[in-house]
Amino acid sequence: MPNPKRRHSKTRRDKRRTHDAISLPQVVECPSCHEKRQPHRVCPACGHYDGREVVKVGEA
């Protein structure tokens, strides 16, 4: 199996790792309760999706 002849530089290592960063999830404002939620998902605060209530949210 081939092995590297010389050590890779820190720059080369870091160039490879540029795409490995974890990004924060996107959030949008819920049109019914104005809480932050992820797009294309039921709002965890009010249970609405696409203008109608899909999930009953109990009081905690």
Is the pTM higher than 0.95? The answer reads no
What integer pLDDT is reported at residue 28 of this predicted model? 96
Give the pLDDT score at 58: 79
* Sign of the dihedral through C-alpha 29, 30, 31, 32: negative
Task: Categorize the per-residue pLDDT at 47 as very low, low, confident or very high, splitting at 50, 70 and 90.
Answer: very high
pLDDT score, position 59: 60
Calculate the average pLDDT of the chain: 92
What pLDDT score was predicted for residue 27? 97
